[in-house]
Amino acid sequence: MWHRLALLVICLWPAMGYALDLSLPSNATLSREISEGSGSYLLPVGPFSEGSLPALEVEGRVVQQAWRLEAQSITTLQILSPLRDQLIASGYEVLLDCSGRECGGFDFRFNTKVMPSPDMFVDLFDYRFMSLRQSTTADASGYVSLLVSRSGVTGYIQVIHVAPKGGNGLSVATDAKAQLPRPGSDQPVAQALMSQGHVILSDLNFGSGSSELGEGPFASLTALAAFLKSDGGLRVALVGHTDAVGGLSPNIALSKRRAQSVLERLVSTHGVPRAQLDAEGMGYLSPIAPNLDQPGREANRRVEAVLLNSE
Q: Decide if pLDDT at 11 tops 60.
A: no
> Based on the domain organization, do 71 and 211 belong to the same domain?
no
- The parent domain of residue 111 ranges over 9-175
Closest C-alpha to 156, from 224, 81, 69: 69
Share of the chain above pLDDT 90, in %: 48
Domain assignment present for residue 143? The answer is: yes
The stretch 86-107 carries a mean pLDDT of 88
Asked whether residue 224 is domain-assigned, the answer is yes
- The total of other beta-carbon atoms located within 10 Å of residue 180's CB is 21
In a domain, 13, yes or no: yes
Residues 24 and 88 in one domain: yes
CATH code for the domain in which residue 243 is found:
3.30.1330.60
Residue 7 has pLDDT above 60, yes or no: no
Whether residue 276 contacts residue 235, with contact meaning beta carbons closer than 8 Å, is answered with: yes
**pLDDT tens digits along 116-136:** 988 999 999 889 999 999 866
Total count of domains within the chain: 2
Round the average pLDDT of the chain to a whole number and report it: 82
Residue 180 has pLDDT above 90, yes or no: no
Within this chain, do residues 57 and 145 fall inside the same structural domain, yes or no? yes
Instruction: Render the burial of 238-253: b for 16+ CB within 10 Å, e for the rest.
Output: bbbbbbbeeeeeebbb
* Sequence-separated (6 or more) residues with CB below 8 Å from residue 96: 44, 45, 46, 47, 129, 130, 131
Higher pLDDT: 34 or 28? It is 34
Residue 3 lies inside a defined structural domain of this protein: no
- Clarify whether residues 260 and 163 are in a common domain: no
Q: What's residue 216's pLDDT?
A: 81
- Give a yes or no: residue 128 inside a domain: yes
Residue 219 lies in a domain: yes
| More confident: 305 or 77 | 305
Tell me, yes or no, whether 300 lies in a domain.
yes
What per-residue confidence (pLDDT) applies to 203?
83
| pLDDT at 13 (0 to 100) | 29
What's the pLDDT at 209?
Answer: 75
Does residue 234 or residue 180 have the better pLDDT? 234
| Rounded Cα–Cα distance for residues 178 and 155 (Å) | 15
pLDDT band, very low/low/confident/very high, at 40 (cuts 50, 70, 90) = very high
Please check whether residues 163 and 19 belong to one and the same domain. Answer: yes
Q: Which of 120, 140, 175 finishes a domain?
A: 175
What is the rounded average pLDDT of the residues 5-14?
31
Span of 16-25, 226-235, 245-254 with lowest mean pLDDT: 16-25
What is the average per-residue pLDDT within 230-254? 93
- Where is the domain boundary, 127, 144, 175? 175
270 lies in the same domain as 219: yes
Check whether 173 has a pLDDT greater than 70: no
Instruction: Look at residue 183 in the predicted model and tell me its pLDDT.
Output: 41
Do both 159 and 198 map to the same domain? no
Is pLDDT of 168 > 70?
A: no
- Residue 196 shares a structural domain with residue 171: no
For the segment 214-222, the average pLDDT, to the nearest whole number, is 86
Judgement on whether residues 149 and 67 belong to the same structural domain of the protein:
yes
Is the same domain home to 205 and 70? no
Do 196 and 163 belong together in one domain? Answer: no
Between 39 and 174, name the one with better pLDDT: 39
> Domain ends where: 154, 175, 196?
175
Identify whether 1 is part of a domain: no
Same domain, yes or no: 170 and 208: no
Query: Which one is predicted more confidently, 46 or 178?
Result: 46
Q: Which amino acid is at 235?
A: R
